[in-house]
Amino acid sequence: MAKNWIKGATSDAHGQFKAKAQKAGMSTEEYARKHEHAKGKLGDQARLALNLMGMHHSTKSESHAKKLYGK
């Protein structure tokens, strides 16, 4: 896998997916989950958004762990 694949995958995005989600009255994650199995560019954008949202593991806080595990 290329070293800077995220930069290449998002170089022409400029908030287009977020704008689509806001226009639909949804959060970005809700919109991505709804369209993750769609074909074409929308499905690609949704899957990329979900993948990138899942990469924020280093900022886990205690409240996040409580939300996940109820502890």
What's the total number of domains in the chain? 1
- The residue among 56 and 50 whose pLDDT is bigger is 50
For residue 44, being part of any structural domain is answered with: yes
Domain membership of residue 2 (yes or no) is: no
pLDDT at 2: 61
Residue 45 within any structural domain of the chain: yes
For residue 70, give Cα distances in angstroms to 53, 55, 59, 67. Answer: 21, 22, 18, 6
Section 19-32 average pLDDT: 94
Range of the domain at 22: 14-69
The answer to whether 31 and 20 have CB atoms below 8 angstroms apart is yes
pTM of the model: 0.67
Angle between helices 16-23 and 28-35 (to 10 degrees): 90
